[in-house]
Structure 1
């Protein structure tokens, strides 16, 4: 049987910004309880008093990652260099029997140009190639028989070097996404390797995105 506490937890988990604000004691419990009275009453299909909700809010224990744990603080402090690469193009191509062979020819070209930006991701139904825009004609020529789903020019990549064992820290990426969302930055793509995290944004968001990432590090 669901309780008021269960409903409060469900609502807070679905709204991480609200959950974080609550964990930092910057929300008025009484006002929030009044705000949640109607939705929780609907969830339980009976009238619920705001006092019961306020009690559940005060008893709620947020995940330790939202209370700035020592491990999380150290990971943020140990973030490495932030690298910006501009003038990139993102190709999304439908997977086919010929794509790998055509991609191999592209790799030969890129292998001789160490300063070029390049990433490749193969999904179940489509593949993604992100390259320096100077290679656009070359890519268009070698993929002319493939089916393009989307092509986007004028992109920039911001890469953050992550500390070792970052994959063992729950909620690390949340801090990046939270700050970017607060700044109104729209992410075009998100890429990652074991120790690197890269976001791809359109030119209009570059300054905001770079500043937001730096603020996380600070």
Structure 2
């Protein structure tokens, strides 16, 4: 097979491992920060404090804007903005910022749905007990909402692994781009992209199974709590 001698080497294996690491790094860091930012945006949008109205409008604008923009467009916008503000930032830094912006918008809606799944009666009971807004959120809402939030949030992260392939447009050598580079150097497309396919599967499958196991565990705990 064409390029087999060049493919089956330690250098090629290390090249693919580095590309895999960049793909995982962008996804984990971007989605983790995105979950934190998205959670803050969801809490802010759910508040009813009058003086926070301007902040709620900004949060809603952020979510609605970045949920409707294709990830490639977000990448290009971040690239041009970063070049003007911090031209020395690496391309993987640019891509991670773009992942964070996209993830924060989508995960904000997931968190908001989880928070709203807690019955209003429980919020009213917390008010009657004299709990502050923060204590109600921390002690009443979040413990129940996590079971609704975490499974789709984990599934989103697994899905977003594939979208990081678009980071190659700003120069990040992630998995898909690594396959293209190898084929350009004479490696058989069957070998180059076959290896990329296998690595994507090895990366996504355990994460998908973990998300499914988490969902099953949380459903079991919710069921046990309802029968107490």
Q: Is the structural similarity TM-score above 0.5?
A: no
Q: Pick the structure with more helix per residue.
A: 2
TM-score by length of 1: 0.25
TM-score (norm. length: structure 2): 0.24
Q: Which structure's CA Rg is the greater one?
A: 1
More strand by share: 1
Ranked by relative contact order (alpha carbons within 8 Å, sequence separation 6 or more), the top structure is 2
